[in-house]
Structure 1
């Protein structure tokens, strides 16, 4: 591999290209390298595969929509027609007109007051929804950052991949473990787990010199790439069938082991 390709692969352009975080110039450069160099094409395919693994464990829910607030149009006020049957004095007509004007003014003021109160409440709802939307955006950014970190970890040359298959007791069992002894990280992808009776569960263990350390419960309903406790100097990984809730005293039921793999 020439120095030019090696420099390109050592950068984060491919990862950012997959996440849509490149400029137009960077996009053109990445697509050119993918088309021209088989090594880059192969690295791109591997990244796509890893991204698919990570993506299924991070379902990003859509954000809440902000409601549009529409003020109802005020109906035209009815016209009051006065048909006097008597001849009122001029001052009396003025007092009646003034009373009617006062009533109309009071009614209009009340309508504007209630309308402003309603608008204030609706504005408060909009403000709260905007804050909720900002929280959703922040959560999505955190998820994206987590996806990026997991992708980089999966693509790290120091990360070892272990495919754990079930024995005769659980032929359909399949999980994939990713362990990086340099970064001291451990993840597992639950691909498939045969169904167990309700009173039983699968438990994964790290085997050390002379003892077993529980790494947690595996569940078919929790099929996603997730972190496991990193165990220094682990010799192997084992999966056993335990009573519901798992063994709490770090005593693995080795007679009920359904899968194991030796670590490098």
Structure 2
């Protein structure tokens, strides 16, 4: 079942309400709504707000316009009644025009707000779809039978640290899951190196805020070596900052 927090954080209720979700996401949201009373109450309140906003856009002339027209016409003398009525209608028309202009301004502002919200929701959906496709592709790459997983355990510089490298020599792909590594200060980063005939070759930096990181594949690598380097990475490894290594 889909997570309630995910639904709220990513605005899926609003998209569900406006009919902009895919069939799969619609079914997932409906399932959570059926089983989560607090989320259903939140959705009902959101739906009520949308209905109220729609009602506010309806332009109905106010009663004060009708009342003023009756009072003005009733006060006129018979001998100048046509002129008085014309003037009264002119006054009422002016008041009505001003009122309608104000309502039009409010409606335009509400429309702009809805357009902004819709654009933001579309952006979030596009990002979710992009992330989903990227994650799916990477998961397929990891589960490939040609992939060899390697676990690098941290030394005393990264106690209890662990990073998993997935290597596919056939497609020359290297993916790394760094979530098991301790976070570093902002001025430091992890960096992976391949040892080829005693020469350390840079494979790329390894940020810890991502689920999977794509690194450069190095042919004929004999081992993988993880070091701590200044932010942005180094051209040569800082040997004394070696965190972990493993023979391939």
TM-score, L = length of structure 1: 0.63
Segments of structure 2 that go 5 or more residues without pairing to the other structure are: 3-7, 16-48
Superposed counterparts of 1:77-96, under 5 Å: 77=64, 79-80=67-68, 81=71, 88=77, 90-96=78-84
Superposed counterparts of 1:1-264, under 5 Å: 62-63=10-11, 65=14, 68=50, 69-70=53-54, 71=56, 75-77=62-64, 79-80=67-68, 81=71, 88=77, 90-194=78-182, 200-220=188-208, 222=209, 224-242=211-229, 244-245=230-231, 247-249=233-235, 251-263=236-248
Q: What do the CA deviations read for 1:213-238 (whole angstroms, capped 9, x no partner)?
A: 22333445x25222222222222110
Counterparts of 2:159 and 2:193, CA distance in 1: 19
Q: What do the CA deviations read for 1:188-237 (whole angstroms, capped 9, x no partner)?
A: 111433466776543221222242122333445x2522222222222211
Closer, same or farther: CA 128–256 of 1 in aligned 2, 3 Å: closer
Segments of structure 1 that go 5 or more residues without pairing to the other structure are: 1-18, 21-59
Closer, same or farther: CA 108–217 of 1 in aligned 2, 3 Å: same
- Bigger relative CO (Cα 8 Å, ≥ 6 apart): 1
TM-score, L = length of structure 2: 0.67
Q: What do the CA deviations read for 1:6-53 (whole angstroms, capped 9, x no partner)?
A: xxxxxxxxxxxxx99xxxxxxxxxxxxxxxxxxxxxxxxxxxxxxxxx
SS class of match (2:63): coil
Between the two proteins, the alignment pairs up a number of residues equal to 200
Closer, same or farther: CA 197–135 of 1 in aligned 2, 3 Å: closer
Counterparts of 1:256 and 1:117, CA distance in 2: 64
8 Å CA contact 2:189, 2:228 repeated in 1: yes
